[in-house]
Amino acid sequence: MPLGGSRAPSSGLGNNSQGTGGRELVVCLIISVVLITVGVRTGEDGPLAAVRGGFQTITTPVRLVGSAISMPFQGLGNIFSNLTADQATLSELEAENDQLRSRNAELEEAEQTATRLQGLLDLQSTYNLQSTAAHIISGSSDSWSSTVTIDKGTSSGLSVGMPVTSSSGVIGQIVECSATSSTVLLVTDESSSISAIVQSSRAQGMLNGSAAGEVSLDMIRTDQTVEVGDIVVTSGLGGVFPKGLPLGKVTSVEKNPGSMYYTIVVEPYAHTENAEEVLVITSLTDSQVATSEDVAAADAQETSESTTDSTSTDSTSTDSSSTDSSSTTGTSTTSSTTTSITSTGD
């Protein structure tokens, strides 16, 4: 029973505390409602204005401290937000840059192709060439021949012997032909030989390749005019290459003692390492072959060379005969003198 008597006061105290707290809360709510209502009705100049001002004054430090504490976290959130946005923007810009670079490369390639094709069209128009365009698809795979392979053959009307040129100048001549491809012997090959002419002096010779890949202009006599820088073109003789196609430029002229011909080195205009598209000349017009005057000039040059060779041979024979005669005369004189001396001694 004493235990039961002690529990009753404790329970009553708890109920009193809860009841007091509840009443205080209700009173605060009522006061708040009254203050709000009065404040609304009286406005900024009412009797509660001073109370509100005092309350704001009291709470301002607390609000400032709270704002100061929250500011770094707000800035940190902004930093992360901006960083995420900048990273996304950077990724977009990098993707756009890659696309622009790819597009720029495509445009540059298209421009270069257009320039090369325009060069072929200009060559075709300038020389009125009957031709077929082709692509170089490979070079020679051995070290003893200089050839390239093109992607056109007999099915495109091509045949062995047809000349091949780039926009820069003559490349060579077809030596093998299949249905869909052809092999072109380059002017630098040692078995290549093309009838050529010096554009300025009209001196005619043969443009020959060599094992070293050097191109020479042979059969030009030393009494003809050839200078470094002269342009060498096809002569049209033989009816294979059209007349006037550019071959190359003279880079060296040497006059060897005892030789009636110059040693002339020519730098070809066309280089297959820079060529991708070519023209195969399929036929010639009458104006593209050597004229009768060209043939006559070539014959006259050949006749002159033959005459010079004959004169040189005759001169050599005469010198030999004179030497033999002098030798015989000297021997006879010596014998006569010896006989005379012997007779005198007797």
pLDDT of 127: 92
> Contact at 8 Å (CB) between 272 and 171?
yes
Q: How far is CA 313 from CA 187, 263, 302, in A?
A: 34, 22, 16
Q: CA-CA distance, 263 to 158, in Å (whole number)? A: 35
Distance CA 73, CA 343 (A): 147
Domain locations along the chain: 35-127, 131-300
**Better-scored residue on pLDDT, 253 or 52:** 253
Which residue pairs, CB below 8 angstroms and at least 24 apart, start in 313-321? none
Q: How far is CA 226 from CA 95, 114, 200, 204, 229, in A?
A: 60, 37, 8, 11, 9
Q: Tell me, yes or no, if the pTM score tops 0.75.
A: no
Q: Assign domain 131-300 to its CATH architecture.
A: Beta Barrel (2.40)
- pLDDT grade for 317, boundaries at 50, 70 and 90: very low
- Which helix (DSSP H) or strand (DSSP E) does residue 55 occupy? helix 49-127
- Whole-number pLDDT of residue 84: 73
C-alpha atoms less than 13 angstroms from C-alpha of 344 in its C-beta half-sphere:
6
pLDDT single digits (tens) 209-250: 998 889 999 999 999 999 999 999 999 999 999 999 999 999
Q: pLDDT at position 316, please?
A: 47
pLDDT in tens, 20-47: 656 766 665 566 556 666 665 655 555 5
d(CA 126, CA 118): 12
Residue 199 makes CB contacts below 8 A (sequence gap 6+) with: 230, 231, 232, 233
